[in-house]
Structure 1
Amino acid sequence: MDAWPACVGPATDSPARQASLIRHSSPARYRYCLMAGLASLAAGCGGGDSPPLVGTLERDRIEIIAEASEPIVALEVREGDHVAEGTLLMRLETATATARAAAAASRSAQARHHLTELLNGERPEVIDEARARVAAAQATAQRDQMELRRATALLARGLTSQASVDQARAANDAAAAALREAQAALALALHGSRIEDIDQARAALAEAEAGERQLAVGDARLDVRATRAGTVEAVPYKLGERPPAGAPVVVLLADSPAYARIYVPEPLRASLRAGQAAEIRVDGLEKPLPGRFRYLSAEAAFTPYYALTQRDRSRLSYLAEVEVTGPGAAGLPAGVPVEVTPAAQAHD
């Protein structure tokens, strides 16, 4: 057990302790540790040629999530079905989405009408009313001006008091101010809206329409469709259930090339590089599959810093992915064990 990597406990734990931790870990973690341990065992076996790198055959897993927390009203696929990109997988209830769309359309219509009102300016009736107010204010101003003149003349002859003159002057000033106010209102009605108000109305309309389009995109996703061609691996929820927003409702295995997920022992890590050719052997296939390294991790899996001594670092293992470059893996299921031999070793 010395060759097991420190994936479930410190390197200082006893072999029996590490084995117990591995056996009682989760199945996924157990398999992860098992492959890393096999890689480490291969590195520590010594001898001439290095043994093959072990792992499993995998495919890209595509998790398609629920756009909103709505009940499932239709299931169109089952596990194992092959679907093309854009295929309808399931439908979620759209009653809430329809109400949201109607509210968004109303906000857009309101903003659009407000912009139209500003562009068209005041109605002719409003302008006529403003002209009438100006005419009335002019008549009032003329009357009060005449009253002020009479009061001033009477005061000069001693026939009225100063208070009466002051009152007439105040009324004249108020009438003049009311006339100016009416004239300004008429000018405002004739000149229309300010350009700043129109720009603000245009911006409000653009915001409302953008919100409407955003809701339309989200509502369209209530019809859950395949984002890539592939095979349905899992449908976690049943008809009538309400998955939470953001939860995966369909899992696809993409039709993209399969790849081997393996673990590279530390003594071999420096000799491998991305793009390097390799052979992938699968139980039940007579000939190996061609492949190439597409990814090599720069960090060891589950390794604490204190395991980097000269004795322990040979137990390190690095995650790598080797893509199958031929058609031979088309019908193989994900998860089957594989052995990978880098090209430099395959030709020895």
Structure 2
Amino acid sequence: MKCQSILLSILMLTVLSACQSDSGSRAMGTVERDRIRLSATASEQITFVNVHDGQTVQKGELLLQLDTRSANALVSQRKAELVQAKAALSELIAGTRPEQLSAALAALEASQADSKEAELKYQRSAKLYKSNVIGTADLDAAKAKRDSSHAKAKQAYDQWLELKNGARKEDIEQASARVKAAQAALVWQEQARKDLAIKAPINGIIDTIPWHVGDRVSSGTQLVSLISSSQPYARVYLPATARTKIHIGDTVSVFADGIKTPFQGRVRNIRSQPAYTPFYALNERDRARLMYLTDIDLEHADQLPTGLAVEVHLP
């Protein structure tokens, strides 16, 4: 009886050891494809939904449309600002109109005549003051009138000269810079309006689109989840015991549930960090339980559905 118990214990240990060895020689995971999440580019209301869950779409196809009324108003504003900036620049480049220059010249001649008359009155007043005909107050008034007339004539001359010479190079450069800024603002606003039309960036299948016409979303809210129709890959958890046996570029056999023939795969990437508890928090025995996410490109596996369970036989 005792011998039978010993034999039974040995048999159970052998079976457990075989199971552990078998499970340690496989990496489990699922079939995956690239997933793209499209978000709202602005806080607007949804005005049009063109797809539904599970629908196949092509690159560039319209999926969902956000309200463009606010964006249209901003585009019109940017266009008006650009027109205004261009007009200001054209005015500086064209220079002074002949009518303005003629009016400034006439004002200059009038002020020069007043200045000459004021100078003559001052000279007469100075002679009369020396003859004691007028007092000091009258002389000071004549002098003030002369100085004021001279200043006005100088001001009129400077204004006429400014109009004659036209705009400075620096003023034209500043106006040109304002035109470029207005053009850039218009391009940015037009692109922002264009981004309100949510389109498929790749060929794929709509995974989820939980929104409806009339829903108001905030900027950055996920609107559509799109699964790429490109070549699938297997994402498996590689045991730490096999980490040194599998390398990037190695060819492995991948078995999918329900399919007897394995698929050939090439290891694309192995994460450098374990997926679970950090190794420095574990002892030597527990470190064997660490798993490393590994991506394996599959060949001739386009028919495999996303999410299908797979396993990789390890050396």
Asked if structure 2 preserves the Cα contact closer than 8 Å seen for 1:44 and 1:314, the reply is no
1:69 equivalent in structure 2: 43
TM-score under structure 1 normalisation? 0.81
CA deviations 1:84-124 (Å, max 9, x no partner) are: 11011122222111111111111111111111122122222
Q: For the pair shown, which has the larger CA radius of gyration, 1 or 2? A: 2
Structure 1 position 341, deviation (Å): 3.0
* 1:252 and 2:260 matched: no
Aligned partners of 1:250 and 1:127: how far apart in 2? Answer: 64
1:301 counterpart SS class: coil
1:24 equivalent in structure 2: none
Structure 1 position 44, deviation (Å): 9.2
CA RMSD of aligned residues (A): 2.1
Matched residue pairs, number? 300
CA deviations 1:189-215 (Å, max 9, x no partner) are: 111112212111111111111111111
Structure 1 position 302, deviation (Å): 2.5
CA deviations 1:115-166 (Å, max 9, x no partner) are: 1122122222221221111011111011011001111111222222233222
1:117 counterpart SS class: helix
2:21 counterpart SS class: coil
Aligned partners of 2:225 and 2:18: how far apart in 1? Answer: 36
Counterpart of 1:180 (choices 142, 146, 154) is 154
Asked if structure 2 preserves the Cα contact closer than 8 Å seen for 1:140 and 1:175, the reply is yes
Aligned residue runs from structure 1 range 100-249, under 5 A: 100-249=74-223
Aligned residue runs from structure 1 range 6-21, under 5 A: none
Aligned partners of 2:224 and 2:64: how far apart in 1? Answer: 9
* 1:288 and 2:262 matched: yes
1:336 equivalent in structure 2: 308
1:45 counterpart SS class: helix
Percent identity between the two aligned chains: 33
1:34 equivalent in structure 2: none
Partner AA of 1:239 in structure 2: V
Asked if structure 1 preserves the Cα contact closer than 8 Å seen for 2:24 and 2:239, the reply is no
Aligned partners of 2:228 and 2:135: how far apart in 1? Answer: 103
TM-score under structure 2 normalisation? 0.89
2:183 counterpart SS class: helix
Aligned partners of 2:185 and 2:264: how far apart in 1? Answer: 50
1:11 equivalent in structure 2: none
Aligned partners of 1:87 and 1:148: how far apart in 2? Answer: 87
2:304 counterpart SS class: coil
1:18 equivalent in structure 2: none
Partner AA of 1:270 in structure 2: T
Deviates more, 1:203-212 or 1:66-75: 66-75
CA deviations 1:191-247 (Å, max 9, x no partner) are: 111221211111111111111111111111222110011111111212221222111
